[in-house]
A and B are shown apart, each in its own frame.
Chain A
Amino acid sequence: MAVMTYLEAIRETLRQELRRDDRIIVYGEDVGVRGGVFRVTEGLQAEFGEERVIDSPLAEAAIIGTAIGAAVNGLRPVPEIQFSDFIFPAINQIVQEAARIRYRSNGAFGVPMVIRAPFGGGVHGALYHSQSVEAFFAHVPGLKVVIPSTPYDAKGLLASAIQDEDPVLYFEHKAAYRSLKGEVPDERYLIPIGKADLKRPGKHVSIITYGLMVSYALKAAEVLDKEGISVEILDLRSIRPLDVEAILETAKKTGKVLMVHEDNLTGGIGGEVSALIAEHALFYLDAPIVRLAGPDVPAMPYSPPLEHAFMVTPEKITEAARKLAKF
């Protein structure tokens, strides 16, 4: 068991998976010689060669489109989109093709592929290096959307995603890469996709969230604990599929739900979670569901005060949870 950063956990999992199964290939812009702009794939090309760790042309639709073809023809591609903001040229391939191939071929073809993409803000990335794009994909049946919140989960969820027979989007928060550290077992293990994780049991308020916001919510919970407010935290781990059972269980238990994500408020996954609770657990609630999310502006600005104003922070979560607890 070693202590690793979130980034190292992803890299070591890729290494372990590439060693385990020679059908796995990694490719994308800059992933080879440079080891990726964030160094996630550093050293992989040296170990596995240019045919398995491929520097691809800068063209997202080709990266994903060829990965689909390779997957159909027996490989297990793990393409990287350098920033999730740049995934949109490939959305035709992801949504119209990867997501629909199994369904449209009546089960004859499948696309076992994992698309890795860094997402999220607070790193001075401005409009086009800060976006949270997960809700676009969570809308699409046929896709799975995984967002790990710890180094431990990053490993177990990535191994599961690579083993999955369906296309998985695996979003990595940029601010988590080096700020989050934790123990990661050496051996391979799988965390099932679609199972949420109860990070902290509590009595008064449930915070439902995912990704980097889990660590922020944990900080908020510690502050509130000293005030006598007991916070329960549910890490969704994947936003498609959603762990409906776990969502309803925590909602019923505390009766007060705060949904947190950095993605924009409107059409974000918080709306879906709220609807599920409203449909199935309304009479257990003691307060209206609260959503704390990125504001409905087109994207995150660059200038520090504007960026800070956009970001969901531990302080904003603390305040929202405190207010809800007192409702």
Chain B
Amino acid sequence: MAGSDALYGLGLDTTKIETMYYYMVLSRALDERMWILNRQGKSAFVISCQGQEGAQVGVASALDPTVDWVAPYYRDLGIVLYFGMTPREIMLGQLAKADDPSSGGRQMPSHYGHKERHVLTGSSPVATQVPHAAGIALAFKIRKEAAVAMTSLGEGSTNQGEFHEALNFAAVHRLPLIVVVENNGFAISVPQSKEMVVADVAAKAAGYGMPGIVVQGSDPLGVHQATLEARKRALKGEGPTLIEIKTHRYTPHSSDDDDRAYKTREQLKAEKEDDAIVLFRQWMMDQKLWDDERDQALRQRVRHEVDDATDYAEAAPYPDPKTLWDHVYHS
């Protein structure tokens, strides 16, 4: 965990620190509620951010949501919340309701997209968003706008051709792009050792002549700092950066998976010792930035937001079947 030197060196004030913590806690709480809704039979599918919140908030907090764009993947609840999607909007998607801003209930949950919030719509085939983010960055470069595109994906997805093609394209054209790999060690059930020979996904950056940085997901400030530096490089016209964040997945791949087949409970327990939320709170307390009373108040507020979002989405209408034919083409 970074110390106070890192904190003030990053130019973070206490409000920003508290905001980062809030989004981590909110992401976890919303995600836990999704599983309850799933087990209650109210939501057919859940795919989780749990364990990766520190990585996600560390990245998003170093970007500028007013100008930057993100092309996230399905675990990135922390990123899209930080970019301004609301708990109500998330739950509308989780329950496949008409007003879901991501897709109007058309996609599986967690396939986020929100034009006004600069969140690009995503699909299920992995790594397809990496060239999209490079293209967004290409447009920034051509228009000479001071903005960057950030895309994120899991380590398993870095085996896809589109990941490599996009990194190469972005490097050749020195695009303002940040590629973030949230390495949770497993592509569903397949461990990293069976996905690739290299120990660090960041090593793949060398082949494209760009920096490849490794940071720890349990250290949101370290993630934040790496992302800030990547953003500075991008804005200076120095091209893309690959950031690998070592992180953990505390849930099965999805609500249709059972991780006991490939992850021992001992390993899971050890991973939970490295939980960014727990460690960040402890660090804040050590720095006298936080105390139990404020923590209780924050958790109360988050519980209220999650309850409100759930109630709101449960009461919201489903899409009208007649809208099946809408938006095939521009009208």
Contacts and interface: CB of A to CB of B under 8 A. Distances in A.
A230 B72 CA distance: 60
B135 A108 contact: no
Interface in B307-330: 326-330
Given A62-B169, A102-B329, A107-B326, A97 B139 contact: no
Contact of A105 (B69, B121, B137, B149): B121
B135 A109 contact: no
A126 B106 CA distance: 43
Contact of B102 (A64, A89, A92, A105): A105
Contact of A75 (B100, B132, B142): B142
Contact of A62 (B125, B139, B162): B162
Interface stretch (A66-74, A215-223, A231-239, A259-267): A66-74
A141 interface: yes
A97 B121 CA distance: 10
Contacts of B107: 104
A106 B104 contact: yes
A100 interface: yes
24 contacts: A59-B168, A59-B169, A62-B162, A62-B169, A65-B165, A66-B134, A66-B135, A69-B71, A69-B132, A70-B139, A72-B135, A73-B136, A75-B139, A89-B161, A92-B128, A101-B121, A104-B113, A105-B102, A105-B103, A105-B327, A108-B121, A141-B328, A142-B328, A166-B330
Interface of A: 25, 51-52, 54, 56-57, 59, 61-62, 64-75, 77, 89, 92-93, 96-97, 100-110, 141-142, 144, 164-166
Contacts, number: 142
B79 to A, nearest CB: 17
Nearest to A110: B330
**Nearest 4 CB-CB pairings of A with B:** A69-B135, A65-B131, A106-B104, A165-B330
Given A57-B169, A104-B103, A72 B162 contact: no
A59 to B, nearest CB: 4
Main secondary structure of the interface of A (DSSP, over half): mixed
A320 B71 CA distance: 53
A65 B136 contact: no
Contacts of B173: 54
Contacts of B113: 104-105, 108-109
B223 interface: no
Chain B interface bracket (under 10, 10 to 19, 20 to 34, 35 or more): 35 or more
Given A71-B135, A73-B69, A74-B139, A66 B102 contact: no
A39 B166 CA distance: 27
Given A73-B139, A104-B121, A110-B330, 10 more contacts: A61-B162, A65-B165, A68-B131, A69-B131, A69-B134, A69-B136, A103-B327, A105-B102, A106-B327, A109-B115
B255 interface: no
Contacts of A67: 135
Contacts of B123: 96-97, 100, 104
A107 B327 contact: yes
B170 to A, nearest CB: 8
A142 B128 CA distance: 18
A108 B116 CA distance: 9
A66 B166 contact: yes
A280 B169 CA distance: 49
B165 A62 contact: yes
B73 interface: no
B111 interface: yes
A144 B132 CA distance: 20
Contacts of A93: 128, 131, 162
A109 B128 contact: no
